[in-house]
Structure 1
Amino acid sequence: MTQSFDTPLPPPGERRRLREKASLTQAQLAAQLGVSRETVRAWETGRSTPSGRKRESYGKLLASLAVGPSADVTAPQDPQPAPELTVSLVRTGKPRPPVPTAGLTPPPPASAPLTPAQAFDALYAFCAPALVRQTYLLTGRRELARESVEQAFQVAWQRWPEVAVDPDPASWVRATAYEYALSPWHRFRPRYRHPEPPPADAADRALLDVLLTLPPSYRRTLLLYDGVGLGLPETAAETEASTPAAANRLLHARSAIAARLPDLAEPEVLHRRLAETASTERLRAAKPPTVRNGSERRARFWTRAAIAVTVAIIGATALTLHSAPTRYEPPVPAGETVPGLPPRAAPGTLSTAELTLRAKLRAESANGPEKLLPEPR
């Protein structure tokens, strides 16, 4: 019986949509097909097309994904899965429901809408662990990585109506965390003036040292493309650069790493080493209620501070209006100098000339003309 390898495939965008609809990452899909993650990404972006048996397997898998939730498509069950930096949220269109994780109460059925707190907790539990590891690779500091992620999610909770309708809330939070982590003002904070202990493994230490020597924009582009697994247009959009500029940064970053670590010249090897380096550190994120409560406390603090400043300004204005003069008062003119009199000396000891003048005046006061008195008649 002959097999036909001319299996029709959907367009590249539809392939990616079907994979994300089934809540599968590129790495999981690649494991089922027996190919690399870079190959799946090339198929979904249209840079290449499978052929032969891989085309037939890929076509059957996409057809099963298109059937719906009843299709028998599950992620590979590996007792020790390889660490991943990717956050498989839909980057275009409506965000897919997050996968329940350990310690997270499963969301209510699809018929019951999620409350804002439940939706935020689900997004945090799904994205925060991987985002802390990504930020650690970006900064090389464990405490700063946790602080950046918490700060980003606190801002997201304060602006939740905007984040909730964003096509890709994970990218929104990730961009906020990266911006906070790469802020140059952290170098002036006392707790971040001294470097943290490096990783225990020599290979991880060497990779982290090379990453930290790259410019922040190059480091961020490399992490998004080779670490998180974004496409080049998505990477350029998130870094606020043009696609050619993002590609140039990526090439220079890869060249710098390959020059010092030749074993990481291949993108697939670099992606695996980034994931392993981030996963060796025990980086724990705070619980979602803690982040939400911290965001609310921060909002209350700044609200009260704004009210206090406003009251102070109103009080100062009222005091000024009360104490200000209600009519015009002309200024006192400057005194005029009387001819013949010496200028008034400043307080202090009299000079020799002043002492002489005083003695002369006292001596001549008794020898003046006689007073005229009326005589009786």
Structure 2
Amino acid sequence: MTRSPGTPLPPPKARRRLREAASLTQAQLADRMGVTRATVRTWESGRTTPRGRRREAYAELLKTLAEEESAAAEPAPVPVVVAVRTGPGSPAEDTESLVLPAKALPTEERQGDEPEPAPEPVALTPAQAFDALYEFGTPALVRQTFLLTGRRELARESVERAFQTAWENWPEVARDRDPVGWVRAVAYEYALSPWQRFRPRNRHPEPPPADPGDRTLLNTLLRLPPRHRRTLLLYDGVGLDLPETAAETEASTPAAANRLLNARRAMADRLPELADPEVLHRRLAEVASNERLRAAKPPTVRVGSERRARFWTRAAIAFTAALIGTTALTLRTAPTHYEPPVSPGETVRGVPPKVAPGALSDEELELRQKLRDQMQDGPERLTPRLE
């Protein structure tokens, strides 16, 4: 189930870059948009996107910032991401699948050979494009999430849930310059959610890696705070640069650099041989590659996403119907005017209340008869007279 696309927006990383190029802080941009700073931070990280008129205003503002940037200087060339694939059975196959290609890689040119013609683009259906993205990004994302959490089932579930969310927002993900990064951010957020600790399945530890060195490295990595662990994994594991790491972790660039330095220092204190970032990168790839991690097939993930969307839609309809029925029943049975309660009888100065009038005495009967015989109106009742 997909949603209709709205006004196109630049990728989350481009939004942050345009804001920083215009020397605007998140607070200043929030004031111009009439939102909070936290909302702007979620827009730039890709967790949420504006809708309606606010989306149109945000797109117009980003377009203006892009025009100002292009007018001030020549635009920098966009690096082309080349996916490195290794052949089956090669020793570097598992190592390369851990680190997704995040930077431009030079292509080799052979002297004397004519360049091969570029293949013609093939139009893919949304389901085919999603399946291709899932098959390409799932193995590496599951390995990364395993390093982030130390749990195999949680890593698989987080990646599948992230791809289900991507299928629900497929028009936006398909236009993103880094769709794997979009899914990675959602998977990391789900895996590091504090609510995961309350699930019965996550209360018991999973079997550690068989190799003692891998077990020591994983335990040392899991001792880091979640934010430091995520920053270290993105920078030294995935290979993102510092601004991209800061954008994905919803932090400023100095804060991300500080977290990275603290994480490296903590890892080097416990494991001095990992002080070199290249050695740390290689060891992280080896630990993730030694684990047997599975994932569901792409059609299963798409069907699960559609079922979940239908379930929540039906739940919202049922809740709305129940709320309307409860409101109608309340309006039908509620009283239309206020009726004050009758106060119970109380003893006043020691005199008990009289429950019911009894028989009249002779004096009371005589007085009643006298009142009935006298004139009820006229000046005689107003002017006293002597007897």
Smaller-chain TM-score bracket = 0.5 to 0.7
* Counterpart check, 1:161 vs 2:171: yes
Q: 1:343 to 1:129 in 2, by over 3 A?
A: farther
Match of 1:17 among 79, 96, 115: 79
* Counterpart check, 1:178 vs 2:188: yes
Q: 1:77 to 1:138 in 2, by over 3 A?
A: closer
Match of 1:114 among 105, 108, 124: 124
Q: 1:90 to 1:119 in 2, by over 3 A?
A: farther
* Aligned residues of 2:164 and 2:302 also touching (Cα < 8 A): yes
Q: Where does residue 81 of structure 1 map in the other structure?
A: 92
Letter in 2 for 1:273: R
* Counterpart check, 1:209 vs 2:219: yes
Q: Where does residue 67 of structure 2 map in the other structure?
A: none
Partners in 1 of 2:272 and 2:257 — Cα distance?
A: 20
* Counterpart check, 1:330 vs 2:339: yes
Letter in 2 for 1:217: R
Q: Where does residue 318 of structure 1 map in the other structure?
A: 328
Partners in 1 of 2:172 and 2:327 — Cα distance?
A: 37
Indicate the SS of the match to 2:261: helix
Match of 1:132 among 128, 142, 153: 142
Q: 1:76 to 1:140 in 2, by over 3 A?
A: closer
Letter in 1 for 2:329: L
Q: CA RMSD in A?
A: 2.6
Indicate the SS of the match to 2:79: helix
Shift of 1:250: 1.1
Moved more, 158-167 or 180-189: 158-167
Match of 1:146 among 128, 145, 156: 156
Shift of 1:201: 0.2
* Counterpart check, 1:250 vs 2:254: no
In the alignment of these two chains, the number of paired residues is 263
Q: Which has the higher contact order (CA 8 A, sep 6+)?
A: 2
* Aligned residues of 2:148 and 2:230 also touching (Cα < 8 A): yes
Partners in 2 of 1:283 and 1:119 — Cα distance?
A: 23
Q: Normalising to structure 2: TM-score of the pair?
A: 0.63
Match of 1:295 among 305, 313, 316: 305
Moved more, 277-286 or 78-87: 78-87
Q: Where does residue 273 of structure 1 map in the other structure?
A: 283
Partners in 2 of 1:275 and 1:284 — Cα distance?
A: 17
CA deviation vs aligned residue, 1:25-74 (integer Å, no higher than 9, x gap): 4xx8xxxxxxxxxxxxxxxxxxxxxxxxxxxxxxxxxxxxxxxxxxxxxx
* Aligned residues of 1:90 and 1:168 also touching (Cα < 8 A): no
Indicate the SS of the match to 1:144: helix
Partners in 1 of 2:121 and 2:257 — Cα distance?
A: 44
Letter in 2 for 1:138: L
Within 5 Å, which residues of 2 pair with 1:184-263? 184-263=194-273
Letter in 2 for 1:249: R
Letter in 2 for 1:133: R
Partners in 2 of 1:226 and 1:137 — Cα distance?
A: 12
* Aligned residues of 1:86 and 1:229 also touching (Cα < 8 A): yes
Unaligned 5+ residue runs, structure 1? 1-12, 29-74, 92-108, 345-377
Shift of 1:236: 1.1
